[in-house]
Structure 1
């Protein structure tokens, strides 16, 4: 197997890796943003640094080994760079293969029948048939919604475009078109993918029940009937009549509208029957976040995390829990945004000359976001780094997971969620017995409640301008951010009283001109 057998799917159009090992290592290193396999000697080290003092400061591990060995290899393994003497290093081909396997969502092996074909997207030997997506590329992407008969979905309807010249997807049935849609629009986030699969499964079930379909054969009247069915009241298990929440209806119609719009834009459909179907804007305008922890509950949690660790808890575990709490409490990030993504090396922290920290994360849609961290959360983060024998402040170019598991790997979403829930549980245990309301709120809280609290502090408590708060929270629409500014009648009355205080009333002795 040679490097050119791999295809980089992260660029447009996809392209093969260079054929030579040196060029392939350099290509992958530039694509991922970290070294893959470097051969160091004193001559090479001097060539890249102005002086030996600079070399020692920038590459301390390499410099130390070069004092005892003629050559040193720096290679990437298990999410970090390792430095070993050249005699002890694995082969470059082995390291490259491991890195490509770890990033298999981006780098994929070419199908066997295409092993000796020209580079994808090139003009050499290109035909309309060569533009079709191979089945192996489709099956390696997101799966189709479970519970849908593959035979029912693997067909095309009356609005499918059979002309290859204008059908840029190069597929002929809905099953392949759905796979491509999910791979491009939902594969960046497991939460988005799960929501999309749920809505497509629901639409398919309705079509089968109404004897309609496939998706590409639905008319505008069919989709409007589905919208009415989603919004219609239904009986719950207890026998009560319930209406779908506006946010649920908005999400359902947004997914369906996105599917048909993308199919039409890419040429798979000749028309878009879902044009204007979504009521997302109207539903979003009526959405109001309600899952908040009271300020007293947050202060109580802060006090608990600033105190002593529970009995029999190792100091390293307590330091990690405090760091996780500080990140979610004072950055307002989503749960998944603190999960280490090796492909893009996020999240990571930058430190400026004033020793101020900025958290860099990848939000929804793969959009990068920089969140300044307040100084109140830095002691806990530095204490955690100290427990892991790291420098107090992250160094420039450091690309390590922010939070590690007990086995040394990056802590996943479920582990991060459990740690935050453990904080709420501990805070509930340390409440007075009579404080049942706060205990109930803590038992129901989750990481997203902290995000809502962060947003409310910005928008309501501190009156941060909405565009600034939108940037910090990573909202696609400022309307979502503005929803946190909606207040109840008591808060509205307080605002009015403060704006028209008695001392600010106009002088009644001053004569006002007649209208």
Structure 2
């Protein structure tokens, strides 16, 4: 099996000392092996292959594996299978301040010599990276490839507060401002009309469906199903979990408008394979999650520029927004509209209702109001 990592670091480029064949953390002889891989690139590639059916997860995990592999052999001068707890601590420091050569903006985002960092990783991104790598090492230990994982010694950081709330969303008033600013886009040329219609549909589709960007990219017209007069969207999310997303008549009217613009039938065909989100000129090939993400970011950037002169605070918040903000915004607005929390859980396909509860802001707002409301001043007799 060819390794997904070979396009960046080939086995032929690694000396025997760096290949991991004799790594100091390799499982001793006699331990039952579940995989045949006998070097780090092949073993890490096999772990990645487990996620071949989830493109978004695959790309994210491959990025973290490649970063660690290059850092291990180029910076620490040792194979991944020789990394210790001290190395993991040093790697976390490296992620917080990678050298300029690793963040060269002149390098492409793809290919053998691509840029691996856009810049230093924040605390949350570092935690995510280390969590992914901990999963990699646990897999290799269970496979009988490694003797142990240096990540198991990681200190468990206390959670800040017993209950989180989601703040990466646009409140209802700001969302209305976003839609209004989008409707003010110029539409004098065919190209401007194409950009407007696509941005208009993408924002509404991601907001109403609360899909992850990878799910939206995979959606085709035969995923839209009408049952007892109501529209639903079938999707397959994380871990292959299937879901049925309720769609409003208003969104289907927006979909019909979008399809008419490209001279398609207003209603999706039951057996049709046309993507839900088309290319700029109506091409039928599917867009990648990265492309859709960039469309959304560019749309929010243009809207933020338009809002800047009116309210710099609003503009700053819109400029930070992304595809996942639309998912959070949808869930928050559903909660504020009184949608039962278990329905929101089903719409977002959360395994735990505790995850869904981070979108319930009404309780905090009520507590704030009751605490800070003006109280009558009692007169004190002289």
Post-superposition shift, 1:305? 5.0
Match status 1:201 vs 2:67: yes
8 Å CA contact retained: 1:420, 1:447: yes
Calculate the TM-score normalised by the size of structure 2. 0.72
Is 2:52 the counterpart of 1:177? no
Separation in 2 of the partners of 1:171 and 1:270? 15
Q: Where does residue 440 of structure 1 map in the other structure? A: 316
1:230 aligned partner? 92
Q: Flag structure 2 segments of 5+ consecutive residues without an equivalent.
A: 100-119, 377-382
Greater gyration radius: 1
Preserved contact between residue 348 and residue 359 of structure 1 (Cα < 8 Å):
yes
Give the corresponding residue for 1:269.
Answer: 146
Name the CA shift for 1:250/1:210 in 2 (closer, same or farther; >3 Å).
same
Q: In the alignment, what sits opposite 2:177? A: 300
- Asked whether the equivalents of residues 455 and 469 of structure 1 are also in contact (C-alpha less than 8 Å), the reply is yes
Shift of 1:299: 0.5
Residue of structure 2 in register with 1:20 after alignment: none
What is the number of equivalent residue pairs in this alignment? 349
Q: From 145, 157, 166, give the equivalent of 2:23.
A: 157
Q: Secondary structure at the match of 1:395?
A: coil
1:338 Cα offset (Å): 1.6
Contact residue 222 and residue 268 of structure 2 kept, 8 A: no
How big is each residue's C-alpha offset from its partner over 1:453-475, in whole Å with a ceiling of 9 and x where there is no partner?
1222234x245455543332244
Does residue 338 (structure 1) correspond to residue 186 (structure 2)? The answer is: no
Cα offset, 1:283, TM superposition:
8.0
**Alpha-carbon distance in structure 1 between the residues aligned to 2:200 and 2:184:** 10
Name stretches of at least 5 consecutive residues in structure 1 with no aligned partner. 1-136, 238-242, 503-515
- 5 Å matches for 1:387-426? 387-405=261-279, 406=281, 407-421=283-297, 423-425=299-301
Alpha-carbon distance in structure 2 between the residues aligned to 1:431 and 1:234: 33
| C-alpha deviation, 1:262, in angstroms | 1.1
Shift of 1:257: 1.8
Farther-moved stretch of structure 1 (271-280 vs 433-442): 271-280
| CA distance 1:244–1:442, change in 2 (3 Å) | closer
Identify the residue that residue 102 of structure 2 maps to in structure 1. none
CA distance in 2, matches of 1:287, 1:210: 37
Of 320, 337, 355, 2:198 maps to 320
C-alpha separation in 2, matches of 1:320 and 1:269: 49
Matches within 5 A, 1:45-56: none
**Aligned 8 A contact 2:5 2:66 in 1:** no
Deviation per CA, 1:295-328: give whole Å up to 9, x if none: 2221023335567862224656544332222101
Of 125, 137, 162, which residue of structure 2 is paired with 1:248?
Answer: 125
Q: 1:207 to 1:404 in 2, by over 3 A?
A: closer
- The residue that corresponds to 2:345 in the other structure is 470
Q: Distance in 1 between matches of 2:199 and 2:344?
A: 27
Shift of 1:418: 4.4
Match of 1:215 among 80, 90, 109: 80
Counterparts of 1:292 and 1:236 in 2: how far apart (Å)?
30
Aligned to 1:99: none
Change (3 A) 1:375 1:463: same
1:349 equivalent among 215, 224, 230: 224
In structure 2, do the counterparts of structure 1 residues 403 and 359 end up closer, same or farther at CA, with 3 Å as the change threshold? same
Asked if 2 retains the 8 angstrom alpha-carbon contact of 1:466 and 1:482, the reply is yes
Structure 1 residues 236, 453: CA separation in 2 closer, same or farther (over 3 Å shift)?
same
Aligned partners of 2:138 and 2:149 also within 8 Å: yes
Aligned in 2, Cα 1:215/1:350: closer, same or farther, shift over 3 Å? same
How far apart are 1:381 and its partner, in Å?
Answer: 0.5
Q: 1:303 to 1:387 in 2, by over 3 A?
A: same
Residue 348 (structure 2) pairs with residue 482 (structure 1): no
Q: Deviations for 1:420-446, whole angstroms, at most 9, x for unmatched residues?
A: 345435544655943333233333433
Q: Residue 207 of structure 2: which of 326, 329, 352 is its match? A: 329
The structure-2 alpha-carbon separation of the partners of 1:186 and 1:455, relative to structure 1 and needing over 3 Å to count, comes to farther
Shift of 1:162: 6.7
Q: 1:250 to 1:358 in 2, by over 3 A?
A: same
User: Relative CO higher for 1 or 2, CA cutoff 8 Å, sep ≥ 6?
Assistant: 2
Instruction: Pick closer, same or farther for the CA change 1:235–1:362 going to 2, 3 Å.
Output: closer
Paired residues for 1:452-463 under 5 Å: 452-459=328-335, 461-462=336-337
The answer (yes or no) to whether the contact 1:475–1:481 under 8 Å persists in 2 is yes
